[in-house]
Amino acid sequence: MDATPAPLGAARMAKLTRRTSETEITVRLNLDGTGQVKTATGIGFFDHMLTALGRHAMFDLEIEAQGDLHVDDHHTVEDVGIVLGQLILKALGDKRGITRYGQALVPMDEALVEAAVDLSGRAALGWQVSFTADKIGTFDTQLAEEFFRALSANGLFNLHLIQKAGRNDHHIAEACFKAVARALRMAVGLDPRAGGAIPSTKGSLAG
């Protein structure tokens, strides 16, 4: 594994390559981007969701993944979540000046999903989302939860997803990814009133 954090005072960028016997994944991330996304995971629906995530978070994101898709999609989806979470954590540095909290309520046609984020340095996932079927095309709907669990566990943040409405699984999943994107966009944003302070009474958001 190799990682390249952004230097202090530079744009909040990071790159990470993760290699295992199951996957090889390289991700480049710029938290202060314009939502430019290039993703090639070999899983079409997942690429669609990752594009929505980057676009609505306003992250510049490049993802190249090769995984054991002949087994199933699980390792690739989970490992992309692991790498992206680690990159968010690294790009944030000591989290000085960030807003820290973010929330979004996102409709997608008949579906409605709420996401809340706390970049606390502590990992937790609250998942109150129900799909109606096992698959969206060839994508296993259980993998949506696995992705967000890996993302929050490796990014060391609290993430809660609550489905308010929805019958179409594609719409439910897309609302989840867009809601998380919008919540992250708010949470990583710099607070002009913070004066560069770390937004914690402890003076640290390291956990």
- pLDDT tens per residue, range 30-82: 999 999 999 999 999 999 999 999 999 999 999 999 999 999 999 999 999 99
The per-residue b/e assignment along 68-107, b for 16 or more CB within 10 angstroms, e otherwise, is: ebeeebbbbbbbbbbbbbbbbbbbbbebebbbbebebebe
**Bridge pairing between strands 60-67 and 37-40:** parallel
Instruction: Determine what percent of the chain falls in helix, strand and coil, rounding each to the nearest 5.
Output: 30, 30, 35
pLDDT of res. 10: 53
pLDDT of res. 2: 43
Three-class SS state of 12: coil
pLDDT of res. 9: 46
Question: What distance in Å separates the CA atoms of residue 30 and residue 68, rounded to the nearest whole number?
Answer: 28
Distance, first Cα to last Cα, the chain = 23
pLDDT of res. 142: 98
pLDDT of res. 207: 73
Tell how many helices (H) and how many strands (E) occur in the chain.
Answer: 4, 11
Question: What distance in Å separates the CA atoms of residue 168 and residue 159, rounded to the nearest whole number?
Answer: 23
pLDDT of res. 7: 40
pTM exceeding 0.85:
yes
Q: Which residue positions in the chain have pLDDT lower than 50?
A: 1-9
| CA distances (Å), origin 31, targets 36, 101, 142, 188 | 11, 15, 27, 8
pLDDT of res. 5: 39
pLDDT of res. 15: 97
- Domains of the chain: residue spans and CATH: 2-188 (3.30.230.40)
Q: For the segment 72-83, what is each residue's pLDDT rounded down to a tens digit?
A: 999 999 999 999
Three-class SS state of 75: helix
